[in-house]
Amino acid sequence: MTIEEILAGESKNVEFKENLPEKSIKYMKSVVAFANGTGGKIIFGIADKTREVVGFDKEDVFKKMDAIANAVSDSCEPAIIPDITLRTIDGKTVIVVEVSEGRQRPYYIKALGREGGVYVRVAGTTRLADEYMIKELLFEGSNRYFDQALCTGLTITEEDIDALCKAMKEQAVKNAYNEEQKAFIKDVGRQQLHSWGVLIECDGKDYPSNAFAILTGCGGLHVATQCGVFKGTTKEIFVDRREYTGPLWEQIDEAFQFVLRNIHLGATIVGIYRQDIYEIPPDAIRELIINAMVHRSYLDHGTVQVAVYDNRLEITSPGKLPMGQTLERMKEGYSKIRNEALAHAFSYMNLIEHWGSGIPRIIGKVKAAGLREPEFIGGEVDLRINIYREQVDTNNANINANDTKNGVSDIENGTNGVIVPQTKEQTQVEKLLQMIEKNPSATQAHYAEQIGVSKRTVSRMFVSLQEKGVLVQNGTKRKSNWTIIR
């Protein structure tokens, strides 16, 4: 740690003490908190408020170092071995006590016991851990996963297991990128669920893990996703609010569609076709929601929250970052799985690809859309990710609430330079053209049913497209075959 870093002030990983307190518990709470978190340093000899370097007399400094080492050894359980060194700043000697991230969690103060002596760091302060946090630390310290633990109080049948296997196969097919990938999707069976930790076998009988309850939404754990639209940039005034429950993949889709309904949509012309463009890349939105679902803490009774503000999309995932993970490492693509059974299930269902690649891919898509890099906040109690809606690249599409017409944005096509406001009729025409391209010999009644409009509306669109030379009729009137002229 450099002198500049020391003098930068206190943070979530740095704490100042002007003197060595007579009662060691005054700094032992921080020692325990650092071991339960990502590590940290306590620097004795610097005033915490003024950052004034006070230092210690050289005659006493080694006695104080011994006192600190003995206090840590006597007070903490499991044992914590800090690195205690001396540094000279402005000609004065300070003591730096460095505590590494611990692996035998939870660490606590012996005199207070595990129930009242576990401390954690939150926003640069040391706080007593609550019940959920202690459980989280216990799972981390024993190298276990909460989602693979037995879900007490939940009873399942053979039909419930078969229904989950069938639903997961359907999701895998639905989320496949192409026909080739679909062809390689195999049925998921009980043995696979056992290996993932979704089912637990005991005495020849299958029992549900927490992952089974989370995936199916069938009880045992209350898992929900809260979505809201707010006026302005705070939660003071809400415009719309929804809570979704049920199978996790349904919650993902509901939350995703909720966001798409509440952000701006524009269009560009590519050839004769209109291409929809959302102000935030839909793939990035969906991946963020999936990431929140698979990596959140299910020990925490909170919910994943998806909030749309005037200036940003905000997604909040309950729970601190897993042991060994940091915001910086996460953005670089380092993966630390909190829910192993869910991660395997999501991977099978083609909801996630390579573990750890999601966040860098999201950042890339958002920046490519001309938006500022997503903002990552927290990680100590929950994780909040913001995608700001304002364009930062003036050469790209500039989406603003003031530019909307009929609730829809105008977006400039960077290739053709055409600005096209999306209207309801244009949307219907584009859907019709896409359907004709896929099935050029269907009846107008079929097209109308698929688009969700009347047959008269489709007939009017056909006449208009023929007059513009976009559609050419082949075959007979009773059995037409339509050709689209690009």
Q: What is the DSSP string of 8-66?
A: T--BTTEEEESS--SSTHHHHHHHHHHHHTT-EEEEETB-TTT--B--B-HHHHHHHHH
Q: Is 356 left (phi over 0), alpha (psi -120 to 50) or beta?
A: left
Q: Could you tell me which residue, 408 or 166, shows the higher pLDDT?
A: 166
Q: How confident is the model at residue 98 (pLDDT cuts 50, 70, 90)?
A: very high
In this prediction, residue 411 carries a pLDDT of: 38
What are 220-246's pLDDT values in tens digits? 788 999 999 999 999 999 999 999 999
Q: Determine which of 37-51, 53-67, 392-406 has the lowest per-residue pLDDT on average.
A: 392-406
In this prediction, residue 317 carries a pLDDT of: 97
Determine the 3-state secondary structure of 407 from DSSP.
Answer: coil
Q: Which CATH superfamily is domain 3-142 in?
A: Schlafen, AAA domain (3.30.950.30)
Provide CATH code, domain 424-484. Answer: 1.10.10.10
Residue 278 has a CB neighbour count (10 Å cut-off) of: 19
In this prediction, residue 476 carries a pLDDT of: 65
Q: Say yes or no: domain 145-421 is CATH 3.30.565.60.
A: yes
In this prediction, residue 397 carries a pLDDT of: 41
Residue 216 has pLDDT above 60, yes or no: yes
| Spatial distance between the Cα atoms of 463 and 441, rounded to a whole number of angstroms | 16
CA terminus-to-terminus distance, the chain: 64
In this prediction, residue 480 carries a pLDDT of: 73
What are 115-128's pLDDT values in tens digits? 999 999 988 899 99
Q: How confident is the model at residue 271 (pLDDT cuts 50, 70, 90)?
A: low
What are 158-208's pLDDT values in tens digits? 999 999 999 999 999 999 988 989 999 999 999 999 999 999 999 999 999
CA R_g for the chain: 29
Helix ranges, 374-443 (H): 424-438
Average pLDDT estimate for 329-350: 92
Burial 73-89 (b: 16+ CB within 10 A, else e): eebbbeebebebeebee
Secondary structure element (H or E) that encloses residue 96, with its range: strand 92-99
Residue 90 has pLDDT above 90, yes or no: no
Burial 9-26 (b: 16+ CB within 10 A, else e): eeebbbbbbbebeeebee
In this prediction, residue 61 carries a pLDDT of: 95
In this prediction, residue 265 carries a pLDDT of: 87
Average pLDDT estimate for 316-324: 93
Residue 9 has pLDDT above 90, yes or no: no
DSSP 478: S
Burial 218-234 (b: 16+ CB within 10 A, else e): bebbebebbbbbbeeee
Determine the 3-state secondary structure of 367 from DSSP.
Answer: helix
Instruction: Please state, rounded to an integer, the average pLDDT across all residues of the chain.
Output: 87
Residue 123, burial from CB neighbour count under 10 angstroms (0-12, 13-18, 19+): exposed
Torsions phi, psi for 279 (to 5 deg): -65, -25
In this prediction, residue 418 carries a pLDDT of: 38
Q: Determine which of 48-57, 331-340, 412-421 has the lowest per-residue pLDDT on average.
A: 412-421
Q: How confident is the model at residue 270 (pLDDT cuts 50, 70, 90)?
A: low
What are 446-459's pLDDT values in tens digits? 888 888 788 888 88
Residue 315 has pLDDT above 80, yes or no: yes
For the question of whether the overall pTM of this predicted structure is more than 0.95, the answer is no
| Spatial distance between the Cα atoms of 452 and 433, rounded to a whole number of angstroms | 14
How crowded is the C-beta side of 166, counted as CA atoms within 13 Å? 6
| Spatial distance between the Cα atoms of 482 and 102, rounded to a whole number of angstroms | 69
Determine the 3-state secondary structure of 280 from DSSP.
Answer: coil
Average pLDDT estimate for 73-98: 95
Structure tokens at 373: 């890099």
Percent with pLDDT over 70 in the chain: 88
Strands 40-44 and 14-17 come out as parallel
Structure tokens at 13: 């990983």
Please state the domain extents for the chain.
Answer: 3-142, 145-421, 424-484
Residue 263 has pLDDT above 60, yes or no: yes
Q: Kindly provide the residue ranges of all beta strands, DSSP E only, lying in 209-330, ordered along the sequence.
A: 225-231, 237-244, 265-270, 273-278, 304-308, 312-318
